Amino acid sequence: MGGLQKKKYERGSATNYITRNKARKKLQLSLADFRRLCILKGIYPHEPKHKKKVNKGSTAPRTFYLLKDIRFLLHEPIVRKFREYKVFVRKLRKAYGKAEWTGVERLRDNKPGYKLDHIIKERYPTFIDALRDIDDALSMCFLFSTFARTGKCHVQTITLCRRLTVEWMNYVVTSRSLRKVFLSIKGIYYQAEVLGQLITWLVPYQFAHDHPTDVDYRVMATFTEMYTTLFGFINFRLYQTLNLVYPPKLDSKAESELKAEHEEDYAMDSESYLEKLSALSASLARVVATAEEEENQLDHFPTEGEDLENMQAREKEQKEQEAQKRLFEGLKFFLNREVPRESLAFILRCFGAEVSWDKSLCIGGTYEVTDETITHQIVDRPDMDKQYINRYYIQPQWVFDSVNAKMRLPVEDYFLGTTLPPHLSPFVEEKDGDYVPPEKLKLMALQRGENPVQEEEEDDDDEEEEEEDEEEEEEEELTEEKNLKKMEDKRAQGKTLAVKVTPGKVKPWETGSAGNKVRLEQEEKAEEKRLAIMMMKKKEKYLYDKIMFGKKRTTREVNKLTAKRKAHEDASKAQKKQKKAKKQ
Amino acid sequence: MCVLFLRQRNVFFQTVPIWFNKSYRLRTGTARKWDKYDEGESVSRPGKLYSTAIDIRNTVGNVPMEWYQDYPHIGYNLDGKKIFKPIRNKDELDEFLDKMENPDYWRTVHDKTTASDIRLTDEQVDLVHRLQKGQFGDVNFNEYEPSVDFFTNEVMIHPVTNRPQDKRSFIPSLIEKEKVSKLVHAIKMGWIKPRKPKETTPQYYDLWAKEDPNAILGRHKMHVPAPKMRLPGHEESYNPPPEYLLTEEERLVWEQQDAEDRKLPFLPQKHSCLRAVPAFSRFIHERFERCLDLYLCPRQRKMRVNVNPEDLIPKLPKPKDLQPFPTTMSLVYRGHTSLVRSISASPTGQWLVSGSDDFTVRFWEVNTGRCMKTLEVGGAVKSVAWNPNPAVCLVAVCFESTVLLLNPSLGDRLVVSSTDQLITSYEPPEEDKEQAVTWALSEGPEHNKGHRLTLTHPKAVKQVVWHGKGDYLSSVMPDNSSNLQVLIHQVSKRRTQNPFRKSKGLVQCVSFHPLRPYFFVATQRYVRIYNLIKQELTKKLMTNCKWISSMAIHPGGDNLICGSYDCRLAWFDLDLSTKPYKMLRHHKKALRGVAFHRNYPLFASGADDGSVIVCHGMVYNDLLQNPLIVPVKVLKGHQITHDLGVLDVTFHPTQPWVFSSGADATIRLFT
């Protein structure tokens, strides 16, 4: 007995967390400002382990922040700027009210602003950290750069986003670091490998946005503010690594070529320059003029055993990558006006092709349709009036599929007006047990260098084999009895085929000794497993059941997809037959 | 001068209707003074509608008329005479009748000041209409007369005033001169500079030029980076393979689901060419939701369990290596007509005795499955036990409150006769003690049937067990309230004793230690071990079960298994702890019987799910090595009747065979 009574909620986890409202009061900020600060500083709420303890016995739903985080925010210089801005707004309102126009002007001139450089440095202490986190920044900037210059946000933000994205695309083109592209219903996904980091971003299709009303654009604008700062610094650094001039300048040669045409169409010089940059058709100026890019050869070190294997694998990978970088080298493309110019020009230039387009479409087209050396013309219309013999007329999907396949795919499937093969996502990596669409299997065979042109029947055979494989997989999952039954059936079938005995007379367990043994063995194994499962601890059993449940679910999904595919193929075959019959 | 209009129509109706005439107009400021309107003027006008006779103007002024509620009058007229209220006030009904019958009701207004109804004339009604429309009260008033400017906009040649101009109006200001010269001086000296245009475009530089590892804040170790966006699968393609498109039913299901429950946040679509792909309507939404996720969602590191499920399965020795154990059902002993509660094998292993609810005890030959003998007893047989001593041929059977010792006369004649001799050789002691049970020797036809001794208990007996030597016998009479639950009988001396003074709970089953003088008593949740020589409690085992059903002791005597009605089997290592060494939850339903094999390291358990599970339970002589328990076989065969499956299991004394009796009135032998 004795001693002071311990008070509740004055130690332990209750003191480590703070609710949002308390945090806001502690920082003396309005909710909107608090949100802005959290976004800029990257502070997010935490979920306490014991919510009731932290909430002082109440179970009301509250957002909790770590007290440490809030203390960290306390001495952030930007907080003071927020307060200053609040005062500025008040003064401005007053001046307006009194119609003191000179006062308004003076206040406007001294509008308090802030910089986010130090926050970026603090949040991302190393360059790689920043590069890892750039996915969202890229997607956001690409989205903002497509906004119309009205209403939703400042025009400066939009132009800045556009500028930064153009810089980024130019960097990717120059460094040839694009790896994967994907045409989805949402937009176009790109994946680039920059300094060893895989960076994925999504660009919406070029349409006017139908701005939703239930979206808070202030939040988006705050994020964009932070992202543009981050993005600019990253661009600067990336340009530096390639010895490029920042802000980007066109090659002197290209510049002189471009100068002649279209200069008068643009009101402002800066505007036309951005346009020229965004055309992506010319290379960029470098700080130090190097003759050619040096190839980074892997040095050979004497290695043994596994290391050697690893080394070889790495070398192989490197070679493949180099090959992919030169995928379209030597090809000359012409983009018709109905295809998405920017994305296609970007992709083609990333893999070393020459691209041009109609003069009236955009600045920066280098040759005309009539050029005889054009090898491919990308077209997205059912038919063309005037066609040149010495070039392929292909649909844009060919470019995307070729990039993903890391090889130039046969152009026949992508000709003008043909039904396109399905476009697969390059981001899916199938593990064993997952569903692999037959198109992917075909593609993989192509990549391995197998006979690309196969008879349809053979294809069918392949598919059947696949199905069988899958069936076998299923069997593992099925219960033992079913398994046995199937095996018996199979054996019975085999017997009937070989010996031609009417089924029913031959009992498999009486005749086939070899099969019997196999069956017995399997039975034994299954029993062993069942008994061992009985001996599992409760915790492990739970985990095991969960894993098995998940596996079963995936197989169920795979089966569903296979069945759907089969049904679809049967239907299409039947249609074909009908057509044939009609023709005859 | 201006004209105001009374728009307060209510006031107007209540108070003024009398004085309206054709040319009524209010002057500025008269709106409030209209009470003092000169009465005489209106009265004196010719052609008036109202004669002087109705000049009953109230002079009380603008006071609330409620003040006159309690008086018979309502005010005073110009002469200072009281104006009296009408004798009878109109009530609701009068009002209503008036409304229905009076054709002029709509043009009648009530004057509060005089408490009388006034019918408006046509002119007045017309005036009201005009005012309601917002028109002038006077019909003849022209509101669109040409305007006349007071001041002309043309500049006149003559000034308005004749005052000469001040000198200061044409001499430059000295103060201004001073100010300007100061500014000029400041500019010359470079103190004032022209305002710089503000930089609007941000300046970028190499932010990470000096990456100082020491400058990284400690909080970066705690930082949880936001998870990246999920990468798109085939179904998101603008031209996916056909199997990824939703069928009509799936689409309907998708549409009816809540947005959170949907597996895919979008509907997969197929477009024939890139040209046909529309804008994604939820693009901004999705980006915004991502933003919200980034700054509003708590983050947590979750450890993903990445285990191969095969690794979770414990590595046990193969059952094949643990042979022999029973694997197949080889014999079914049929004959009983009701559930077989209990079975027991003879010490030689040649015979099997079974007791059933059909009031019979049957003796079977193990190898052939032949029923050698059937004995009718007077009640449902709860338990049978064959004397474990091979030199004695005695079977204890309990039904109702009787324990019967039988000599089945099976097997070796010598043994049979020696057993009979043993029983008849009993000599009653000199002093007869009062005993809890009565011992009676059977004679006559009962003797011929095989009955030898009858022990009549005071209560119903549930279980009988022999001691290993075959002389002692224990019987259980479960009763929570009394201390007379367990009795130990000595057959050779026909003596009975009650070992316990106090009841410790409902006794489920008892057992003798195979080697040492210990006695095991299982109550609902505990197993107590008593030393019979010292007459004290040695150990109390906590079984962690809800209700023990059965118990068996390892022939070595150091291990014990308990079956319980809550599907568990607890293995105790008596040297290790009083808590179970292992809990086995192999059965799906309540366990009814457990048994150890006498020679082989095997034990079996039978349960209501109709299965018998045989486990390998190896006990090592080395005290440091824990027993090895491996389930080796699940034996099935019994049908489940009335939710009961296997009721008792027992091993063959020499062979690795197991017998089981079930509720389907059969006994089965698994070899």
Q: Which tokens in the block code for residue B99? A: 């409304």
Q: Would B351 be classed as within a structural domain?
A: yes
- Closest Cα in chain A, distance from residue B241 (Å): 5
Mean pLDDT in residue range B296-315: 83
CA-nearest residue to A182 within chain B is B237
Whether A460 and chain B come into contact, CB under 8 Å, resolves to: no
CB neighbours of A387 closer than 8 A, spacing ≥ 6?
A393
Q: Could A185 and B295 be called an inter-chain contact, meaning their C-beta atoms sit closer than 8 Å? A: no
The lowest-confidence range among A314-323, A464-473, B109-118, B135-144 is A464-473
Task: Please indicate whether, in this complex, the C-beta atoms of B313 and A544 are within 8 angstroms of each other.
Answer: yes
CA A79 to CA B74: how far, in whole Å? 73
Report ipTM (2 d.p.): 0.85
Exposed e or buried b for every residue in A542-563, given b needs 16+ CB within 10 A? ebbeebeeeeeeebeebeebbe
Is residue B311, in this structure, part of any structural domain at all? Answer: no
pLDDT of residue B7: 35
Q: Closest partner residue to B274 among A214, A396, A425, by Cβ? A: A396
pLDDT value, residue A478: 45
Instruction: Kindly report the nearest CA distance between residue A551 and chain B, in angstroms.
Output: 10
Residue B204 lies in a domain: no
| Contact criterion met (CB below 8 Å) for A44 and B298 | yes
Nearest-neighbour CA in chain A from B622: distance (Å)? 24
**Which of A15-29, B190-204, B414-428 has the highest mean predicted lDDT (pLDDT)?**
A15-29
Q: Average pLDDT of B350-364?
A: 89
Mutant choice from B204, B217, B294, B301 vs A, greatest count of A C-beta within 10 A: B204
**A571–B contact, CB cutoff 8 A:** no
Judge whether B456 and B440 are in contact, CB under 8 Å. Answer: yes
Question: Given a cut of 90, is residue B129 above it in pLDDT?
Answer: yes
* pLDDT at residue B51 tops 80: no
Chain A stretch 241-270, residues whose beta carbon is closer than 8 A to a beta carbon of chain B? 246
Has residue B407 been placed in a domain? yes
The reply to whether B564 falls in a domain is yes
Show the domain range for B93: 65-114
Q: Is the peptide bond before B240 cis (omega within 30 degrees of 0)?
A: no
Assign A583 a pLDDT band (cuts: 50, 70, 90): confident
Q: Does the residue B279 lie in any domain?
A: no
When the pLDDT of each residue in chain B is averaged and rounded to a whole number, the result is 83
Judging contacts by C-beta atoms under 8 Å, the chain A residues touching residue B196 are none
Which tens digit of pLDDT belongs to each residue from A63-93? 999 999 999 999 899 999 999 999 999 999 9
Band (pLDDT 50/70/90 cuts) for residue A31 is very high
Within-domain flag for B263? no
Picking from A97-106, A444-453, B140-149, B281-290, which range would have the lowest pLDDT averaged per residue?
A444-453
| Cβ contact B661:B667 at 8 Å | yes
Beta-carbon separation of A423 and B292 below 8 A: no
Quick one: fold of A324-433?
Answer: Rossmann fold (3.40.50)
Closest partner residue to B631 among A380, A397, A534, by Cβ? A534
Would you give the DSSP letter of residue B616?
E
**CB contacts, 8 Å: B269 with chain A:** 185
Q: Quick one: CA torsion of B262, B264, B269, B274, rounded to 10 degrees?
A: 140
In a domain, residue B451? The reply is yes
- Is residue A202 within 8 A of residue A189, CB to CB? The reply is yes
Residue B300: its chain A contacts at CB < 8 A?
A: 47
User: Is residue B55's pLDDT more than 70?
Assistant: no
> Would you say residue B420 has pLDDT above 90?
no
- Residues in chain A, total: 584
> What does DSSP say about strands A376-378 and A392-394: parallel, antiparallel, or unpaired?
parallel
The pLDDT-based confidence of B14 (bands split at 50, 70, 90) is: very low
Say whether A135 and B229 touch across the interface (CB within 8 A): yes
| Distance to chain A for B77, nearest Cα, Å | 57
The pLDDT of residue A25 is: 94
Q: How far is CA A313 from CA A309, A310, A440, in A?
A: 6, 5, 23
Convert B411-420 to b/e letters by CB count within 10 Å (16 or more is b): eeeebbeebb
pLDDT score for A229: 94
Residue of chain B with shortest Cα separation from A563: B243
- Going across the sheet that includes A332-335, the strands are A354-357, A332-335, A376-378, A392-394
Q: What digits encode the pLDDT tens for the residues B496-515?
A: 888 888 888 888 899 998 88
Question: Where residue A513 falls among pLDDT bands split at 50, 70, 90?
Answer: low
With contacts defined as CB-CB under 8 Å, which chain A residues touch B316?
A: 531-532, 535
Q: How far is B174 from chain A (nearest CA, A)?
A: 25
pLDDT at residue A94 above 90?
Answer: yes
H runs (alpha helix) in A326-396: 341-350
* Averaged pLDDT for residues B319-330: 84
Q: Which of B56, B82, B114 is the last residue of a domain?
A: B114
pLDDT-derived band of residue A118, with 50, 70 and 90 as boundaries?
Answer: very high
Kindly report, residue by residue over B518-551, the tens digit of the pLDDT: 999 998 889 999 988 888 888 898 888 889 999 9
Q: Mean pLDDT over all residues of chain A?
A: 83
pTM score? 0.68
Q: Where are the domains of chain A?
A: 13-75, 81-114, 117-248, 324-433, 534-583
Does the CA dihedral A31-A36-A40-A44 come out positive or negative? positive
Q: What is the CATH number of the domain that holds B585?
A: 2.130.10.10
> What pLDDT sits at residue B283?
93
3-state secondary structure of A151: coil
pLDDT tens digits along B392-418: 888 899 988 888 888 888 877 888 888
Q: In sequence order, which residues have a C-beta less than 8 Å from that of residue B397 and are 6 or more positions away?
A: B353, B355, B361, B377, B381, B383, B384, B403, B404, B405, B406, B464
Residue B1 has pLDDT above 50, yes or no: no
* Cα–Cα distance, B32 to B6 (Å, whole number): 10
Cβ contact (<8 Å) for B231 and A425?
yes
Q: With a CB-CB cutoff of 8 Å, which residues 499-528 of chain A face chain B?
A: 524, 527-528
Partner-chain contact A204 B297, CB within 8 Å: no
- Please list every residue in chain A whose beta carbon sits closer than 8 Å to the beta carbon of residue B307: 543, 547
The reply to whether residue A529 touches residue B205, judged by beta carbons under 8 angstroms, is no
Test the A interface: residue of B216, B313, B316, B582 with most A CBs within 10 Å: B313
Question: Which of B211, B288, B584 minimises the CB distance to A215?
Answer: B288
Q: Chain B contacts of A133, Cβ < 8 Å?
A: 225-226
Asked if B320's CB is within 8 angstroms of A237's CB, the reply is no
Looking at residues B585-599, what average pLDDT do you find?
89
Cβ(B565)–Cβ(B607) below 8 Å: no
Q: Among A307-316, B230-239, B609-618, which is the least confidently predicted range?
A: A307-316
Q: Please name which of A421, A371, A358 lies closest in space to residue B237, comparing C-alpha atoms.
A: A421
Contact between B342 and B361 under an 8 Å Cβ cutoff? The reply is no
Nearest chain A Cα distance for residue B587, angstroms: 9
Q: CA A288 to CA B535: how far, in whole Å?
A: 103
| Minimum-distance CB partner of A44 among B295, B313, B633 | B295
For CA atoms B108, B110, B115, B121, the dihedral sign is negative
Q: Give me the pLDDT at residue A555, please.
A: 92
* pLDDT band at A258; cut points 50, 70, 90: low
Confidence bin at A485 (pLDDT 50/70/90): low
Q: A269-273, B529-533, B644-648: which range is least confident on average? A: A269-273
User: Where does the pLDDT of residue B171 fall: very low under 50, low under 70, confident under 90, or very high at 90 and above?
Assistant: very high
CB pairs under 8 A between A and B: 253
* Total domain count, chain B: 2
Q: What is the pLDDT of residue A96?
A: 95
Residue A572: closest C-alpha in chain B: B242
- Token readout for B391 is 């030199």
Kindly state the percentage of chain A with pLDDT values over 70: 82
- For A183, the closest of B238, B291, B295 (CB atoms) is B238
Would you state the pLDDT for residue A482?
55
